[in-house]
Structure 1
Amino acid sequence: MSTATTRGTGVAEHAERLWAAVTTGNEYAAGDVVVQALGDGTDPESVLLDVIGAVQRRVGLEWAANRLTVAQEHAATAINDRVIATFGFVLKRPEPHLGRITVACVDGEWHAMPARLLAEVLRLRGFAVDYLGAQVPAPHLVAHLHRIGPDAVALSGSLATRLPTAHATITACQAAATPVIAGGAAFGPDGRYARLLGAEAWAPDARAAADRLAEPLPRPHTAHQPLDDLPHLADQEYTLVTRSAGRLVKTVLAGLEERIPAMREYTDLQRQYTAEDLAHTVEFLAAALYVGDGELFTGFLGWTAGILTSRGVPAASLVPALELLETELRDFPRAAGMLRTAQGQLA
């Protein structure tokens, strides 16, 4: 067996042991896995990305498939986050020599694990890193840039509903003369939304981001307004849908109760969950209107359909809500078109 194969087998074994630890809530065992992996000579970056990162992705997939509860998913994520802190005690990082990077999540983005992993990878590569964590408001980030003066901002986002906020944050960083590299599922699997929103660079994962940051990013262009990047926003559909989101949810919820009499017997908690699901649907529709890409909306609905199916709920149950939304938004050509396309795909 080759050395590379042996190393790969070792990483897979460590990942399986970490999976067993986090899914049983055994934080001490999880820490031992990382300490032993490092002690065995496993590359620290591989421990971060191919062990901890791989287990975290598996946690998300297993939750989506209804094989982990929400509580188990939260517990596993919390354990993985604390395990990462183990690095500070058992591993000597190199002295910073490659510049300074600020790593932050878009305001409203609470999925901080990808950003945390990137921050640790950058430190291992020899960068000085300011890790600001989840949900960083743009004014606070810009104040930090003026005070610290980093070479770049690495902006992380997992939720596409935060793309309008990400756009404002990118523009604000550029106005502070700081280039931005964007990453995370929110920016699209090919980085299309990072480019659309004007980021200087995009990376699909932490390794690629660290590689890209090894060379200076281009300096930002003169500050500009979001409308300069997205001329389709002139039709005001995004703004009007966003402003009327609360009314849309209430109207569609009432319409569903008329169409589906069984909903009239819902408990308060069931009504709350249904309203939250409708609110998410409107938010993703608004995000699709913002970037001018219906695939963002249909992609969200496809993911939602998979979640429902894994829980024994027919995906077609989404169609009545989309029909009611289309009726409410019949005077909005782009929104109505996205809703019709989504209904066709679900049907």
Structure 2
Amino acid sequence: MTTTLPATPAHWIEQLWQSVTEGDESAATDLVLRALDAGWEPESILLDLIAPVQGRVGEEWAANRFSVAQEHAATAINDRAIAALSHRTRTEPGEQPRRLAVACVDGEWHALPARLVAEVFRLRGWYVDYLGAQVPTHHLISHIHRTGPEAVALSGSIATHLPTAHAAVTAVQATGTPVLVGGAAFGDRGQYASLLGADLWAPDARTAAARLHQSPLPRPSAPHQPVDDLPHLSDQEYTLVSRTRPALVRTVMAGLAERFPPMRDYDRAQRDRTGEDIAHIVEFLATALYLDRADLFTGFLTWTARILDARGVPTHSLLPALALLRAELKDFPRTTHMIDRATDHLTGAGAVHVTDTRNPA
């Protein structure tokens, strides 16, 4: 695909979007390198050109206009464009570069945000160890002991990985290494990052690099246990819900056909997708219990309602599933409170501010 590059950033973004959606890796890479030759700063190419296109990829998936395969293909093209830019702009760090380890939380496959963070720090002269997607915590700790980074940057896009992120933050801090976190999982204002005891939250790579450039993060204080940050975990509601998730999903699925008659006509694929949706609901409920944040669960249900609407499934189909889930968990006061609050929001009674905590891109 041959294009004439326009002058405005919006047009550059549109040209990259066209290349990505057409699956034209060569055109996308060529566009990014031409932007560099045309005078764009490398950091701006990463954060003001590639990142907005990737965000749009996620939006298209959520609107049911992209399949999972299309989303993965587009992400892979953006990742390779980043690699081409990195190769073109690579410089050797100074004699005593500051060192940063960048990793995704274990279970987190959405690695592009972490890749952008790693590249921005590299451009600013840091020696960066980019460890990629879903890094098990014990491997991350081994890496810290072997390389001694100044800090660790943890990325998470899906809120259900926050309990794992909490364990990783605590383990890294136990080595005397401060932890910077970022990504949609931690909330639009970093509200969940502070609950998990992270040393710093940044809304984007540019902010993170600017903050650490000012001064090193202080070394963590004495080691502690995750329950020290979240004393409400002592009521065991999170543990019981998370451990019984498969049984809860089966129970809800068994009762749903009676409560939601259209489901009786679902084919196998529709039933499988419904089961996946219910499993996600239980996962987010467990995570909300872990953090003791009802807004996280309400936010996820609001997001799910939008996804179902894009699939042509009515929002009210969520209500019988929530009712069945509440009946199974009626003896858990924090749990029933969260289900009731989400139900009230979906039915329009007492709307609350919610945060999108699940970003597939």
Asked if 1:315 corresponds to 2:319, the answer is: no
Residues 28-82 of structure 1: per-residue CA shift (max 9 Å, x gap): 0001101100000101100001111110001111221222222221111010011
Instruction: State whether residues 11 and 42 of structure 1, in contact with CA within 8 Å, keep that contact through their aligned partners in structure 2.
Output: no
CA distance in 1, matches of 2:14, 2:176: 44
Residues 214-272 of structure 1: per-residue CA shift (max 9 Å, x gap): 12001111111111000100100000000110000000000102223442343332222
Aligned to 1:234: 234
Asked if 1:75 corresponds to 2:110, the answer is: no
> Which structure 2 residues correspond to residues 110-189 of structure 1 after superposition, within 5 A?
110-189=109-188
Structure 1 range deviating more: 210-219 or 147-156? 210-219
Paired letter, 2:221: H
Percent of matched pairs sharing the same residue: 62
Aligned to 1:42: 40
CA distance in 2, matches of 1:46, 1:344: 43
TM-score under structure 1 length normalisation: 0.95
CA distance in 1, matches of 2:9, 2:265: 51
1:313 aligns to what SS in structure 2? coil
2:46 aligns to what SS in structure 1? helix
Aligned to 2:93: 95
Asked if 1:252 corresponds to 2:287, the answer is: no
CA distance in 2, matches of 1:117, 1:92: 14
Shift in CA distance, 165/274, structure 1 to aligned 2, threshold 3 Å: same
Q: Which runs of 4+ in 1 moved over 3 A?
A: none
Paired letter, 2:63: A
Aligned to 1:4: none
Instruction: State whether residues 94 and 123 of structure 1, in contact with CA within 8 Å, keep that contact through their aligned partners in structure 2.
Output: no
Residues 169-227 of structure 1: per-residue CA shift (max 9 Å, x gap): 00000111110001001111111111111111010000011111212001111111111
Instruction: State whether residues 237 and 332 of structure 1, in contact with CA within 8 Å, keep that contact through their aligned partners in structure 2.
Output: yes
CA distance in 1, matches of 2:267, 2:64: 23
Instruction: State whether residues 260 and 320 of structure 2, in contact with CA within 8 Å, keep that contact through their aligned partners in structure 1.
Output: no
Instruction: State whether residues 153 and 181 of structure 1, in contact with CA within 8 Å, keep that contact through their aligned partners in structure 2.
Output: yes
Higher relative contact order (CA 8 A, sep 6+): 2
Paired letter, 1:160: A
CA distance in 1, matches of 2:141, 2:133: 15
Paired letter, 1:42: W
- In the alignment, structure 2 segments of 5+ residues that lack a partner are 1-5, 348-361
Instruction: State whether residues 308 and 315 of structure 2, in contact with CA within 8 Å, keep that contact through their aligned partners in structure 1.
Output: yes
Structure 1 range deviating more: 40-49 or 9-18? 9-18
Aligned to 1:85: 83
Instruction: State whether residues 106 and 136 of structure 1, in contact with CA within 8 Å, keep that contact through their aligned partners in structure 2.
Output: yes
- In the alignment, structure 1 segments of 5+ residues that lack a partner are 1-7
Aligned to 2:270: 270
Aligned to 1:29: 27
Aligned to 1:332: 332
Aligned residues: 340
1:213 aligns to what SS in structure 2? helix
Instruction: State whether residues 179 and 219 of structure 1, in contact with CA within 8 Å, keep that contact through their aligned partners in structure 2.
Output: yes
1:216 aligns to what SS in structure 2? coil
Paired letter, 1:216: P
Instruction: State whether residues 11 and 47 of structure 1, in contact with CA within 8 Å, keep that contact through their aligned partners in structure 2.
Output: no
Quote how far apart the aligned CAs of 1:98 are: 4.4
Quote how far apart the aligned CAs of 1:9 are: 5.0
Paired letter, 1:27: E
CA distance in 1, matches of 2:149, 2:68: 37
Instruction: State whether residues 86 and 119 of structure 2, in contact with CA within 8 Å, keep that contact through their aligned partners in structure 1.
Output: no
